[in-house]
Amino acid sequence: MDLETFAKKLGKDLGQLRNHLNRRVPGVAGQELVNFFKRNYRRGGYEDGGFHTWKVTKRQLSGMRGAEGKYLPLHSRRNALFSAIAYKTGDGWVSVFNNTPYADIHNDGGTITIRLTDKMRRFFWAMYYKANGIRRTTGGKGRKKAKTKAAMVAEQYKWMALTKRKTFTVKIPQRKFIYDCKEVRGIVKEQVKKEVVKFLKM
């Protein structure tokens, strides 16, 4: 049954019903969608026919101590990416977006080319010293340092700080946090149903 037939059967004006839905649904659906995406973000993954966790980061695998080692992928102290999930509406439509410059590459995945600056080299040295402090020693002759995952990450930071290369490429895994799926469409449909019921009670 289409909207016009439905409205006639109930003795309601189709134009009024359509205006009500176009005016009300985008706003309430937009807020529900933002809540949905942020809830999944906090859990460290996305819901699409079940919950799927994002690929773990090298930082997590390193066993790094402190807050940095505990953060889930895409999480940080500032959580700028999370906070920037928002929505905008128009007459009969809603769009969820994130306007941070690095949102697309994380959401879709891909390869980026980075120009290595002196500031970045200083950052890599700082990360090297932080990660290097996590190394463990083992017993035995010479008490050689164990080749832990943390030590391997430290060496990667050292390489990036010392390399003569001016640029390097980084492959960013897809960790989608704004997307279309059955659950997203279900949220919109549910809001339409609720607003139809409200209209009928007017």
Evaluate whether 178 touches 90 at the Cβ level (below 8 Å): no
| pTM for this entry | 0.75
From CA 107, how far away is CA 35, in angstroms rounded?
17
Could you tell me the pLDDT band of residue 77, with boundaries at 50, 70 and 90? confident
User: Which of helix, strand or coil describes residue 173?
Assistant: coil
From CA 154, how far away is CA 111, in angstroms rounded?
22
Judged by average pLDDT, the poorest of 28-37, 89-98, 104-113, 122-131 is 122-131
Task: Please check the confidence at residue 1 and state whether its pLDDT lies above 70.
Answer: no
Evaluate whether 131 touches 66 at the Cβ level (below 8 Å): no
